[in-house]
Amino acid sequence: MTNRCEWAEASDNMREYHDKEWGVIEHDDHYLYEMLMLELFQSGLSWQTILNKRDNFRSAFDNFDIEIIKDYNDNKVSTLMRDTGIIRNKLKINAAIVNARMISDMHKNNQTFDSFVWSFTNKKRIMNHYQTSSEVPSFDELSTEISKAMKKRGFKFVGPTTIYSFLQASGVINDHIDSCDFK
């Protein structure tokens, strides 16, 4: 039998996400943007809801292509607001566009979103040691620091809780519980 973090046993797609993605180090800006987007849209909702709609998000948001999304206009926003396959929140949709612009600007300045994020940990992964998922915090000093830095750069909808979840998802923070086989 495979030991997993408790939350992963909620459904097949939660198990698959847990086993193949959550906490796995990823350095690709395209993937990191996708995870930031999904975490942004998850705010106030369950992760299960986001996973159920993930393919719809990919389709609606041009496979999370930063260079396409940064140029979305009011017509595209209106189209997205009518798309029942995604979370239709105008503030979140606009934040996704702004955040694509911020990452695109980094690229124009020969920077990556990846290097920006990892600079806060000196390129070292944070390994936390929790016995149960209930011990895992929703945010910490690091996510608060990164959130402030991102907001200062112009990113939107990137509060400390959203950023903490993003850091977990992208492998910067490993919050698999100690008994989890995926630690």
The per-residue DSSP string of 47-78 comes to HHHHHHHHHHHHHHTGGG-HHHHTT--HHHHH
CB 102 within 8 A of CB 154: yes
> Across residues 56-62, what is the average pLDDT?
98
The pLDDT score that the predictor gives to residue 46 is: 94
Question: What is residue 133's predicted lDDT score, i.e. its pLDDT?
Answer: 93
The CA-atom distances, in angstroms, between 163 and each of 17, 92, 103, 149, 155 are 18, 15, 15, 11, 11
Q: In the predicted model, is pLDDT for residue 162 greater than 90? A: yes
Average pLDDT over residues 125-149: 97
Q: Is 47 a catalytic residue?
A: yes
- pLDDT at residue 97 is higher than 90: yes
Active-site pick, 22, 33, 34, 47: 47
Q: Which domains does the chain have, with CATH numbers?
A: 36-174 (1.10.340.30)
* Mean of pLDDT values over 37-61: 97
Distance CA 64, CA 67 (A): 9
What does the angle CA 148 – CA 33 – CA 86 come to, to the nearest 5 degrees?
105
How many C-beta neighbours within 10 Å does residue 10 have?
Answer: 14
- Dihedrals phi, psi of 126, to nearest 5 degrees: -100, 120
Mean pLDDT of 122-140: 97
Bridge partners of 174? 127
pTM of structure: 0.96
Q: Is 39 designated active site? A: yes
Closest CA to 15 of 47, 42, 43, 41: 47
pLDDT digits (tens, 9 = 90+) for 11-30: 999 999 999 999 999 999 99
**DSSP-derived secondary structure letter, 126:** E
Can you read off the two tokens belonging to residue 99? 């955040």
Average pLDDT value for the chain: 97
Query: Binning pLDDT at 50, 70 and 90, where does residue 56 land?
Result: very high
Given this model, what pLDDT does residue 1 score?
87
Of 22, 34, 39, 164, the catalytic one is 39
In which band, very low, low, confident or very high, does the pLDDT at 93 lie, cut at 50, 70 and 90?
A: very high
Q: What is the mean pLDDT of residues 66-88?
A: 98
